[in-house]
Structure formats: structure tokens, C-alpha cells
Amino acid sequence: MAEAVIETEQTPESLCPFCESKSGGGHFCPRCEKIQPVAATIDYFAFFGLPRKLRIDEPDLEKDFYSLSRLFHPDYFMNSSELERSASMERSSMLNDAYRTLRDPIARVTYLLALEGYNEAEKKAPPDLLEEVFELNMQLEELRMAKTMRDEEEMAAARKSLADALASLREKLNELDGRLFALFDGWDSSLGSDVSEKNEKALLDQMSGLLSRRSYIRNLVRDIKEEL
């Protein structure tokens, strides 16, 4: 099992609880080969032995996921110590969460921003979208009223208006995704380079702003689709 040990610059040094040798923060101790408890400080990138980059080889990620799934499976630890059984459950759970997050580029950048101290949930609606949001809410209310009154003509007109708005919002989402993904390369190239913290923060700010707009527009798309 020694080949399953993952050690990166992001992985803190730790001692194996079984043989007290340096485990390197990997999944298994390189000395006694016992599965290790999950360190509280490890993040999803380090769990897969990856730097905090946004461009990921997804086929390799999937391959590592299935390989580790087999190694961590609780069935292999049924006759092991309680600590080993607990560690296998912890690693299996974190593996699933990490894979689900890192395989999706939007979830991946959202997670990276959270690691860097950004809280997207606290973001307010972008000011330049407020007028559009107000107009869409009016259109949604008109459709609801038409449904209540069973006015087929008004319902058709309201649905047509909302369908046009939905198409426009989807175009905006595609445009935002293009701008967001274009920043991935800039962020990745900044790691391990001489790029200043100020420039790194500027990249994070840009990604956070685009993600906030994207989240808000997706909520609008959801509301329209539910009403249509």
C-alpha cells in the first residue's frame, strides 16, 4: 500500500498513530502501511496530491478516485482496529466530497475561493443587475396573475416574454463562464512564480465577482424555469 501515500507541499508533516514514524501526511503510513486518520488541516486538493490549481486533468482525477475508493473501502477494514475502521470511513467520505467538488470546474473554483477566505454566500446582488431583476420579477408576477385568472392570451404573452428573458440569461451565463475559465490559466501560472500577492488577490477578486454574478443569474434562470 505504500504507493498510495500522497505527500505534497500542502500536506502537513504528521506522525503515524500506530508506529509513530513520520507518515508524510499520506493516506497510508510508508513504514507500517496502515491507513491514516484524516488530518484536520488537509484540503481537497492536497487529498488528491494536487496543487491548488484550477486546471485539472479530469480523466486522471477519475482514475485516482476509483483507485482510492478501492483502497479505502470499509469492507477491507472489518477485522482491523477501531482506529483503522474509523480512518477508512473518514477517508472514504472525504474522497467522495473531494471528487464531487474537484471534478466540476465551478465547484472547484468556488472551493478554492473559500480556501482563500472568500464567502460567496454573503455576496449581495450585483448593482447593475437590480433593474433587470426587478423587471423579471414583474414578468413572473404577471404570469402568475394570468394563471390565476386563467387568461390564456395573457399567459401566452407572459410566457413568450419570459422565454426571451431566459434565452438572454443563458447567453450571459455562457459569456460569464468563458470569462471565468479564462482566468484559470492566469491563476495556475501565478502559483510558484514571482507574481505578487496583490496580483494574485486581483485574480481572486475577479473570479469571485464573476462567480457571484453567475450564481445570481442561475437563480433567476431557475425561477423562470420553475414558473414556465
Q: What pLDDT sits at residue 9?
A: 34
Task: Say what the pLDDT of residue 7 is.
Answer: 43
Whole-number pLDDT of residue 13: 64
- Domains, the chain, ordered by start: 2-103 (1.10.287.110), 122-227 (no CATH)
Query: Which residues make Cβ contacts (< 8 Å) with residue 142, sequence separation at least 6?
Result: 154, 158, 161
What H or E segment, with its residue span, contains residue 180? Answer: helix 152-190
Encode pLDDT of 77-103 as tens digits.
999 999 999 999 999 999 999 999 999
What pLDDT sits at residue 80?
95
Give the integer Cα–Cα distance in Å for 46 and 117: 17
User: Which residue stretches of the chain have pLDDT < 70?
Assistant: 1-13, 121-123, 125, 195
| Per-residue cell: 167 | 434565452
Cα angle 179-118-208, degrees, rounded to a multiple of 5: 15
Residues 6+ away with beta carbon under 8 Å from 184: 54, 55, 105, 109
Check residue 161 and give its pLDDT. 87
Please tell me the distance from the alpha carbon of residue 97 to that of residue 65, in angstroms, as a whole number: 11
Per-residue confidence (pLDDT) for residue 94, from 0 to 100: 97
